[in-house]
């Protein structure tokens, strides 16, 4: 009896897997490209070094939304005097680059 139950379970599993892989739905044909998309894995990158804040500034994450909208978050210290805590520098949490 135990072998019969195992046999039935295995057959049902096989039928379910087979029916899922042969559902008869074909993927749609590829559409024409509406715009040129840059390859995100390309190594053709031009780096430009920029100083954000003063020591001990540190960035934790950067998100490039598009070429003219890049955000970075972290602890960014700027040389303005902090009037709340009476520090030499002011701590900020985010910076935005607008492409220029």
Counting beta carbons within 10 angstroms of the beta carbon of residue 91, is it exposed (0 to 12), middle (13 to 18) or buried (19 or more)?
middle
Contact status, residue 58 vs residue 74, Cβ threshold 8 Å = yes
Could you check whether the bond before residue 71 is cis, i.e. omega within 30 degrees of 0? no
For residue 21, the surrounding DSSP H or E stretch is helix 2-21
pTM, 2 dp: 0.47
> In the chain, what are the helix, strand and coil shares in percent, each to the nearest 5?
20, 35, 45
pLDDT digits (tens, 9 = 90+) for 33-82: 555 556 666 677 777 777 888 888 899 999 988 888 889 999 988 888 87
pLDDT digits (tens, 9 = 90+) for 21-33: 555 666 666 665 5
């Amino acid at each position: 009896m135990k072998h019969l139950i195992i046999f039935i379970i295995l057959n049902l599993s096989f039928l379910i897997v087979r029916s899922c892989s042969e559902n008869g739905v074909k993927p749609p044909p590829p559409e024409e490209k509406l715009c040129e998309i840059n390859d995100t894995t390309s190594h053709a990158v031009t780096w430009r070094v920029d100083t954000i804040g003063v020591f001990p500034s540190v960035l934790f994450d950067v998100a490039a939304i598009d070429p003219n909208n890049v955000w970075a978050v972290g602890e960014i210290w700027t040389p303005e005097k902090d009037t709340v805590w009476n520090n030499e520098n002011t701590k900020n949490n985010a910076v935005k680059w607008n492409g220029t």
